[in-house]
Amino acid sequence: MSMQKQDQTQSWSGLGVGTDRKSFLDKVSAQIPEYEAERAVEAVFCALSERLSGGLVQQFREQLSPDVRELMVACHRHRGEEPAHLDRDDFYLMVANHLNAEPENVRRVLHGVFAALHTQLLEAESRKIEGQLPRWLQGTWAAARLQIDRPA
């Protein structure tokens, strides 16, 4: 009698529908294989926490599984500072600098991380978060949710 090894993915049973950290990072890697998934997630979360209100960041975090939630902390560079009202260019530049990436590749990074995030969130929460994002970020958020308009 042979035993088969089965890979198990923990399921998140909280408000969101997400999975464990490894599965989440695997989804990011599948979207943007040219970037280290954890660094890309950190760069996007760092910029989001700089741009969004503390209440929205907390609401966002609460939708994630506990081990994915650990990834969503403000960068060590920005802890203790009030969120800045970054415009689009500053936001994109912050993500690009964090990853040492070209600014023109940032939308693809955002789309990849957002697509993975949407697997962690309930549809209603995703729409609520979208409504509170800056207009220039809402399109990328919505496109990632609907799995359309993936930047090349």
Using one digit for the tens of pLDDT, what is the confidence trace for 1-30? Answer: 444 433 334 443 344 456 788 988 999 999
Asked whether the beta carbons of 151 and 107 are under 8 A apart, the reply is yes
Residue 35 covered by a domain: yes
Domain extent, residue 127, equals: 21-77+105-146
86 domain-assigned = no
Distances (CA, A) of 100 to 25, 116, 123, 151: 19, 21, 32, 19
Q: Tell me whether residue 151 is in a domain.
A: no
Higher model confidence: residue 73 or residue 102?
Answer: 102
Classify residue 83: in a domain, yes or no: no
Residue 124 counted as domain residue: yes
Is residue 92, in this structure, part of any structural domain at all? Answer: no
Q: What is the pTM of this model?
A: 0.80
Residue 69 inside a domain? The answer is yes
SS3 88: helix
**53-67, pLDDT tens digit by residue?**
777 778 778 888 888
Q: Report DSSP state, residue 35.
A: S
Strand boundaries in 53-148, DSSP class E: none
Domains in the chain, number: 1
Tens digit of pLDDT for each residue in 95-141? 999 999 988 899 999 999 999 888 888 888 888 888 888 899 999 99
141/88 Cα distance (integer angstroms): 14
In a domain, 68, yes or no: yes
Q: At what angle do helices 135-146 and 106-118 cross, to 10 degrees?
A: 60
